Structure 1
């Protein structure tokens, strides 16, 4: 019974935030899915900024993602570039207008107000509980974690630079804070037992 109550609380919080999000995006002629695509692209790294990664992260079909990307490209909120090593791969990035829009619309004011009412200690406990719950749900669903490079098993520090040990490529400082579709939590193997 307790688990069902937690689920209902998370579902209700999500509904309230999505409702507020719909209002904001409707005012500028976009759908919430368009905002979700922009938000994802604002926080993902260079390995994770493809159509397939967007679809996987958001749990959407490739068709829905392609249509959303077309809308965002027409509104000049994102740009496409061809991969230097594989011409079949298209990378997506936010334009200055796309970045400005994300900064203008997030975080939601209602969330800021609620957060201000919660003490730092309470918020820290909620943050930890939600992150743990998300991690467990991702494992149960066998979905990727999409975590930041710095918390990844493949993250390394070589002589004077950061390194992705999966791709064997150097990472820019800004990439280390972004999320990656190939993320492997450091504690993944210890939690499998």
Structure 2
């Protein structure tokens, strides 16, 4: 294994995707960081759609995220909604306009095309294996460096199946079928997954 080559390949693929995204976002007056925040809001649950969680997920400063949120709100891609129980907490809700923008640029058309082309012409390319290997690599990096996992609710140690539904053992709140398919800032891997 040559870790330098692995990093170079991951960096280059990431750069190609970002160039495609940057080019498309110019007409909307957006930067990639703003799209990244919008993407995060599309995959997080209702406990994780706060400015603080966006900051943690993106690994950016509060100031950068604050400006990012301001731009997204001004352009109509998100709305701020006060929490019903704690008015100090603001939730960031994606609008239909934000959802449409996300659908237009994610997943990357170039990545999708490359993967589809490889599947058709190269029997050695296994996208499912690649996905599993990348999941393992990400989980290892998160664990070794004590980063939050931001995992899917249904894989969390706090996720409880109660009667005919689900409950978050941390918040003691019921979970919807949508909640359990989204990522959470409080996610903790189950013991067997650690």
- TM-score, scaled relative to structure 1: 0.93
Does residue 62 in structure 1 map to residue 62 in structure 2? yes
In structure 1, the residue corresponding to 2:60 is in which secondary structure? coil
In structure 2, the residue corresponding to 1:173 is in which secondary structure? coil
Q: C-alpha separation between the residues in 2 aligned to 1:143 and 1:49?
A: 18
Per the alignment, residue 136 of structure 2 pairs with 132
List gaps (5 residues or longer) in structure 2.
none
**Counterpart among 176, 182, 187 of residue 180 in structure 2:** 176
Per the alignment, residue 26 of structure 2 pairs with 26
Q: C-alpha separation between the residues in 2 aligned to 1:60 and 1:38?
A: 14
Q: C-alpha separation between the residues in 2 aligned to 1:18 and 1:140?
A: 27
Give the C-alpha shift of residue 28 in structure 1: 1.5
Give the C-alpha shift of residue 176 in structure 1: 0.8
Give the C-alpha shift of residue 67 in structure 1: 0.4
In structure 1, the residue corresponding to 2:76 is in which secondary structure? coil
Q: C-alpha separation between the residues in 1 aligned to 2:170 and 2:176?
A: 15
Q: C-alpha separation between the residues in 2 aligned to 1:169 and 1:90?
A: 18
**Counterpart among 158, 165, 174 of residue 154 in structure 1:** 158
Per the alignment, residue 77 of structure 1 pairs with 77
Give the C-alpha shift of residue 138 in structure 1: 1.1
Q: C-alpha separation between the residues in 1 aligned to 2:88 and 2:172?
A: 21
Q: C-alpha separation between the residues in 2 aligned to 1:82 and 1:145?
A: 26
Give the C-alpha shift of residue 156 in structure 1: 1.4
- TM-score, scaled relative to structure 2: 0.93
- RMSD over aligned CA atoms reads 1.5
Per the alignment, residue 39 of structure 1 pairs with 39
Give the C-alpha shift of residue 187 in structure 1: 4.0
Poorly superposed stretches of 4+, deviation over 3 Å: 118-121
In structure 1, the residue corresponding to 2:170 is in which secondary structure? coil
In structure 2, the residue corresponding to 1:118 is in which secondary structure? helix
Per the alignment, residue 106 of structure 1 pairs with 106
